[in-house]
């Protein structure tokens, strides 16, 4: 009897069912929480008093207990309860409250007469569900914070690599300026002396040739002795090659100087298409035998930029594109503008690049071209110029298919033009 009194007053519901699922016992916890008062519960089928019990989960629980003899515990989550009970006790008649969020245990046992019975214990687990929901919310917001951190981390990595890139640029710029300055003077007089030398040599050769016309054995003997015929043939080739070499050095120096002085000129409103056309005229010679030029120009507003520098970038990209084409291909130039930006695309049907090469192309002095053919400064210089214009340059490339360089430039510079150009010169 004491046992029954104890379970009458525990803080959980207890129903005892016979093998036909009729209610043979029900404790106060349940009686106090019935939404509709039933004058007589005992002896009545469970499904008659609680029709909501007829659901697949309940039948699965019964099957489990009957087949295994083992108890089964269920947390009612999606449908929050097995049988409808009020979450508060002893409400007045007709007064309603939200249904009790439940966890249940179903187990089988025998009474003292060996009658098989089922015990159904019902617990209010709303606080556990609440804690679970709070935990889920906390996890969700933790995940959101984690995502934000992840994005920040990515941005930091990008900023860091951009910083490294500009530091590298600045260091190389200083080096370049020094080297260019040191080489510029000697190469200047070598170039001018070479021209004079070529004139002198031409005059000396004419002198010997004219003397030969006079005849005279001694001169012929001397010419034989000093291998005059060979020297005469070889000398113009030597002079021509030396001149080429000097021109190449001058080109390198001018690239180096441009590289270290990319703020020399002033920002001004510029017709980009005009600039592209004049650049195309300049490099026409390099391109005409390599590629057909396709122009897809949209109507774009005047662009605030340092015109000659943007032309130089376009020239570098055009020459690279032409050089990447084996045989004959095409170079497509596209322009369009949106959201305060102008975009210039230069797409070629050239050799394309592997991802390893693509990663390095903006590094100063990186080149895959033969020694003496490329300085590897074209793209790093271009990168620097675009950066000074507060724009960005990107590339996508597929080996064997071609490459596409994209330049985005703000239509209006964020700084006052005079300060932007003058301050950084």
Ligand X SMILES: Nc1ncnc2c1ncn2[C@@H]1O[C@H](COP(=O)(O)OP(=O)(O)OP(=O)(O)O)[C@@H](O)[C@H]1O
Secondary structure letter of residue 351 according to DSSP: -
Report the residue closest to ligand X, judged by CB.
Answer: 378
- Minimum Å distance from CB 355 to ligand X? 12
Residues 281-320 that bind ligand X (CB under 6 A): 316, 320
Question: Is there a contact between 342 and 411 (Cβ–Cβ < 8 Å)?
Answer: yes
The CB-of-323 to Mg ion minimum distance in angstroms stands at 7
Binding mask 118-147 for ligand X (x = CB under 6 A): ------------------------------
* Residue 395 C-beta: closest distance to ligand X, Å: 8
> By C-beta, is 125 or 258 nearer to ligand X?
258
Q: Which residues contact 359 (CB under 8 A, 6 or more apart)?
A: none
Choose one: 44-52, 149-157, 224-232, 317-325; the region binding Mg ion (CB under 5 A).
317-325
Residue 422 and residue 265: Cα distance in Å, rounded?
8
Which of the residues 367 through 386 are near Mg ion (CB under 5 A)? 378
Dist CA 408 CA 71 (whole Å): 69
The alpha helices in 46-125, defined as continuous H runs, are 46-49, 56-68
Check residue 256 for interaction with ligand X (CB under 6 A): no
Q: Could you tell me if residue 345 is left (phi over 0), alpha (psi between -120 and 50 degrees) or otherwise beta? A: beta
Segment interacting with ligand X, rule: CB under 6 A, options 7-15, 117-125, 161-169, 364-372: 364-372
**Total residues binding Mg ion (CB under 5 A):** 2
Q: Which of 255, 311, 320, 397 binds Mg ion (CB under 5 A)?
A: 320
413 sits near Mg ion (criterion: CB under 5 A): no
E-strand stretches of 77-216:
102-110, 116-124
State yes or no: residue 364 binds Mg ion (CB under 5 A). no
- Taking the complex as a whole, the smallest distance from the CB of residue 280 to ligand X amounts, in Å, to 16
Check: CB of residue 262 under 8 Å from CB of residue 313: no
> What is the smallest separation between the CB atom of 316 and Mg ion, expressed in angstroms?
5
Which of Mg ion, ligand X, none does residue 176 bind to, with CB < 5 to 8 Å depending on kind? none
- Binding of ligand X at residue 173 (CB under 6 A)? no
Nearest to 239 by CA among 205, 200, 198, 207: 198
Nearest to 239 by CA among 205, 285, 286, 212: 205
Q: How far apart are CA 244 and CA 240, in angstroms?
A: 6
What is the enclosing helix (H) or strand (E) of 269? strand 268-270
How many other CB atoms sit within 10 Å of the CB of residue 92?
5
What residues make contact with Mg ion under the rule CB under 5 A?
320, 378
What residues make contact with ligand X under the rule CB under 6 A?
316, 320-321, 324, 348, 350-351, 353, 357, 361, 366-369, 374-380, 403
């Amino acid at each position: 009897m004491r046992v029954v009194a104890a379970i009458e007053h525990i803080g959980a519901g207890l129903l005892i069912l016979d093998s036909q699922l009729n209610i043979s016992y029900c404790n106060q916890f349940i009686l106090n929480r019935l939404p509709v008062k039933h004058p007589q519960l005992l002896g009545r089928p469970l499904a008659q008093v609680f029709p909501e019990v007829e659901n697949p989960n309940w039948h699965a629980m019964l099957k489990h207990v009957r087949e295994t003899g083992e108890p089964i515990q269920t947390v009612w989550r999606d449908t929050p309860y097995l049988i409808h009970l009020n979450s508060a006790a002893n409400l007045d008649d007709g007064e309603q409250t939200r249904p009790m969020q439940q966890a249940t245990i179903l187990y089988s046992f025998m009474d003292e007469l060996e009658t098989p019975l089922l015990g159904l214990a019902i617990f209010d687990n709303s606080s556990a569900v609440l804690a679970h929901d709070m935990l889920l919310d906390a996890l969700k917001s933790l995940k959101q914070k984690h995502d934000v951190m992840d994005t920040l981390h990515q941005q930091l990595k990008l900023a860091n690599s951009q910083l490294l890139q500009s530091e590298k640029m600045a260091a190389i710029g200083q080096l370049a300026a020094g080297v260019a300055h040191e080489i510029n003077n000697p190469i200047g007089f070598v170039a001018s002396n070479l021209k004079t030398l070529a004139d002198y040599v031409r005059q000396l050769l004419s002198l010997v040739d004219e003397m030969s016309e006079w005849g005279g054995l001694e001169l012929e003997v001397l010419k034989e002795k000093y291998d005059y015929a060979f020297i005469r043939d070889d000398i113009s080739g030597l002079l021509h090659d030396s001149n080429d070499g000097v021109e190449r050095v001058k080109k390198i120096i001018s690239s180096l100087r441009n590289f270290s002085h990319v703020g020399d000129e002033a920002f001004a409103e510029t017709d980009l298409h005009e600039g592209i056309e004049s650049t195309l005229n300049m490099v026409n010679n390099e391109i005409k035998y390599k590629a057909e030029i396709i122009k897809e120009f949209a109507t774009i507003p005047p662009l605030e930029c340092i015109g000659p520098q943007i032309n130089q970038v376009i020239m570098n990209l055009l020459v690279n594109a032409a050089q990447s084409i084996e045989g004959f291909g095409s170079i497509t130039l596209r322009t369009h503008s949106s959201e305060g930006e102008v975009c210039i695309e230069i797409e070629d049907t050239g050799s394309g690049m592997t991802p390893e090469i693509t990663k390095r192309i903006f590094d100063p002095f990186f080149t895959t071209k033969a020694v003496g053919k490329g300085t590897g400064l074209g793209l790093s210089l271009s990168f620097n110029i675009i950066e000074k214009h507060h724009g960005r340059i990107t590339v996508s490339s597929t080996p064997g298919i071609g490459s596409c360089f994209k330049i985005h430039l703000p239509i209006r510079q964020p700084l006052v033009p005079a300060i932007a150009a003058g301050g950084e010169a």
